[in-house]
Amino acid sequence: QASKRQRQRYVTKVGKCQVNLGNIQDKKRFLSDIFTTIVDLKYRWFLFVFMMCYIITWLVFGFIYFFDAWVRGDVGHQGDPEWRACIENVDGFVSALLLSVESQRTIGYGTRMVTANCAEGVILLMAQSIVGSMIDAMMVGCMFVKISRPKKRAQTLIFSKNCVISRRDEKLCLMFRVGDLRESHMVDAKIRAKLIKSRQTAEGEFIPLEQSELNLGYDTGEDRLFLVEPQIICHVINHHSPFWDMSAESLRREQFEIIIILEGIVEATGNRCLAAGMTCQARTSYTEDEILWGYRFEPCMSLEKGAFQVDYSRFEMTFEVQTPAASAKELHQL
């Protein structure tokens, strides 16, 4: 039991995948998709990149403005009414930096400006305007996509801490409960389950963390949920199930993990064309020691004052029922 508690989970209870990617040689692939790379950054690094894009641009163009004013002699002729300056009122790098910020952000205080006395100043101002517009479009787009990602929506989609195995309609079933804490519901919610288990083939090949599908009603459409109240998801243990020949005693000796994936469209979008960008996914996992054999979930719904009332304090509650300890295969043969 101690070894089972200490072994590494594939997916945590809150849905975080415990897989670290290492020794990636061709890292230039991330630069080819720079937009997704920036969006996937953590917020502290995203804000750092966001600020540095503007600061570096201001510094570079400020240095160019100062260098041009210094080469043309505008810096040494401040206050000379007869001097035809290319860049007026630039007497140092700080004033050139202010000109760069004012030009790119279209502030325009009016004290520093590029005149028509030099062609390079006009070209430089046009270049900065184009570069600034490109940075605005990219960074504002990244910020919008990052903020509008419905990752936090998954925190209000909850799963029961344990799975239960008991009989339902004279069939042995593995069940767990899902619920949505928000009044705005998920649109086109679908649920899937994966069994993660290592095995050795007949040829002696060892397959670590092999993934196999658990049928949650795909053929009957029961995997599509109308998630307005907590629902108990059922996996019928039949001859297609990997738990077909697993009994209560053999369950304690096994090592596996069940990954649950619930995904749907956030209702707040109000438009199916935004489904690709507003799809929410919530995940959790169950190990073999989190499966209760011979238990059933307690009801958590009641009818009060003309409406159905959900009591989430009973969401995790289970009670013991009479269930054979034999496997589904043995029960079928009997």
3-state SS class at 136: helix
Helices (H), strands (E): how many in the chain? 8, 16
For the stretch 43-58, pLDDT in tens is 899 999 999 999 999 9
| pLDDT over threshold 50, residue 270 | no
| pLDDT over threshold 70, residue 271 | no
- 136, burial (CB in 10 Å: exposed 0-12, middle 13-18, buried 19+): middle
DSSP codes of every residue in 266-301? EGGG--GGGTTTSEEEEEEEEEGGGEEETEEEPP-E
What is the C-alpha to C-alpha distance for residues 97 and 89, in angstroms, rounded to an integer?
12
| pLDDT over threshold 70, residue 269 | no
Name the percent of the chain lying above pLDDT 70. Answer: 95
Query: Which comes out higher in pLDDT, residue 30 or 13?
Result: 13
Q: Using the Cα atoms of residue 326, residue 327, residue 329 and residue 331 in order, give the sign of their dihedral.
A: positive
- CA distances to 39, 145, 160, 184, 221 from 266, in Å: 20, 15, 22, 8, 20
What's the predicted TM-score (pTM) here? Answer: 0.72
What's the average model confidence in pLDDT over 255-274? 74
For the stretch 90-143, pLDDT in tens is 888 999 999 999 999 888 787 888 888 888 889 999 999 999 999 999 988 888
Other beta carbons within 10 Å of 183: 7
- CA distances to 44, 236, 246, 260 from 243, in Å: 45, 9, 5, 16
pLDDT band at residue 175 under the 50/70/90 scheme: very high
| pLDDT over threshold 60, residue 78 | yes
Q: Domains (ranges, CATH) in the chain?
A: 27-148 (1.10.287.70), 153-333 (2.60.40.1400)
Q: Using the Cα atoms of residue 42, residue 46, residue 49 and residue 51 in order, give the sign of their dihedral.
A: negative
